Structure 1
Amino acid sequence: MPPVKVLEDIYWVGAVDWNIRNFHGFTYTTHRGTTYNAYLILDEKIALVDTVYGPFAGEMMERIKEVVDPAKIDYIIANHVETDHSGAIAEVLKHASRAKVIGTARCKAGLEKHYFGNWDFQVVKTGDELNLGSRTLKFIEAPMLHWPDSMFTYIEKDALLLPNDAFGQHLASSGRFDDEVDEAVLMAEAAKYYANILWPFSTLILRKIEEIQKLGLKINMIAPSHGVIWRKDPMKIVQAYISWAKGEAKRKVLVVYDTMWGSTEKMAKAMVEGLRSEGVEVMLFRLPCSDRSDVVKELLDARGLVVGSGTINNGILPTVAPFLEDLVGLKPRGKVAAAFGSYGWGGGAVKHIEESLTKAGMKLVLPGLSVNWVPNKEELQRSFEFGKEFAKKL
Structure 2
Amino acid sequence: MIVLGAVEIKKGVYWVGAIDWDIRHFHGPSYHTPKGTTYNAYLIIDEKVTLVDIVDADFVGVMLENIKEIIDPSKIEYVIVNHVEPDHSGGFPKLMEYAPNAKVFCSKNGKDAMGHHYFGDYSYEVVKTGDVISLGKNTIRFIEAPMLHWPDSMFSYIEEESLLLPNDAFGQHLASSKIFDDENDLWEIMMEGKKYFANILMPFSPLIIKKIEEIVNMGLKIDMIAPSHGMIWRSHPEKIIEKYMEWARAEGERKAVIVYDTMWNSTEKMARAILDGLVSEGVATRLYRVSISDVNDIITDVLDAKAVLVASSTINNTMIPNMAYFLEELMGLKPKNKLGASFGSYGWGKGAVANIEKKLKETGIQLVKEGLQIKYVPTEEDLKMCYDYGKEIGKLI
Give the TM-score normalised by the residue count of structure 2: 0.98
Q: Is the aligned partner of 1:102 residue 2:105? A: yes
Counterpart of 1:294 (choices 285, 292, 297) is: 297
Q: Find the counterpart in structure 2 of residue 336 from structure 1.
A: 339
Q: Is the aligned partner of 1:185 residue 2:188? A: yes
Counterpart of 1:20 (choices 13, 20, 23) is: 23
Counterparts in 2 of 1:168-317, with a 5 A limit? 168-317=171-320
Counterpart of 1:68 (choices 71, 81, 89) is: 71
Distance 1:233 1:260 in 2: 46
Q: Find the counterpart in structure 1 of residue 54 from structure 2.
A: 51
Note the C-alpha offset of 1:174. Answer: 1.1
Moved more, 73-82 or 261-270: 261-270
**How many aligned positions are there?**
394
One-letter identity of the residue aligned with 1:47: T
SS in 1 for 2:329: helix
Structure 2: tracts of 5 or more residues without a match: none
Counterparts in 2 of 1:352-371, with a 5 A limit? 352-371=355-374
Distance 1:344 1:246 in 2: 41
Q: Find the counterpart in structure 2 of residue 145 from structure 1.
A: 148
Distance 2:384 2:35 in 1: 41
One-letter identity of the residue aligned with 1:259: T
Q: Find the counterpart in structure 1 of residue 37 from structure 2.
A: 34
Counterpart of 2:126 (choices 105, 108, 123) is: 123
One-letter identity of the residue aligned with 2:7: V
Q: What is the identity percentage for the equivalent residue pairs of Structure 1 and Structure 2? A: 56
Q: Is the aligned partner of 1:9 residue 2:12? A: yes
Note the C-alpha offset of 1:32. Answer: 0.8
Distance 1:33 1:248 in 2: 30
Question: What CA deviation, in whole Å up to 9, does each residue of 1:77-120 have, x standing for no partner?
Answer: 00001000000011110111111111011111111111112111
Q: Find the counterpart in structure 2 of residue 114 from structure 1.
A: 117
Cα RMSD for the two superposed structures: 0.8
One-letter identity of the residue aligned with 1:27: S
Where does structure 1 differ by over 4 angstroms across 4 or more consecutive aligned residues?
none
One-letter identity of the residue aligned with 2:338: K
Note the C-alpha offset of 1:264. Answer: 0.7
Distance 1:24 1:75 in 2: 29
Note the C-alpha offset of 1:248. Answer: 2.4
Distance 1:8 1:147 in 2: 31
Give the TM-score normalised by the residue count of structure 1: 0.99
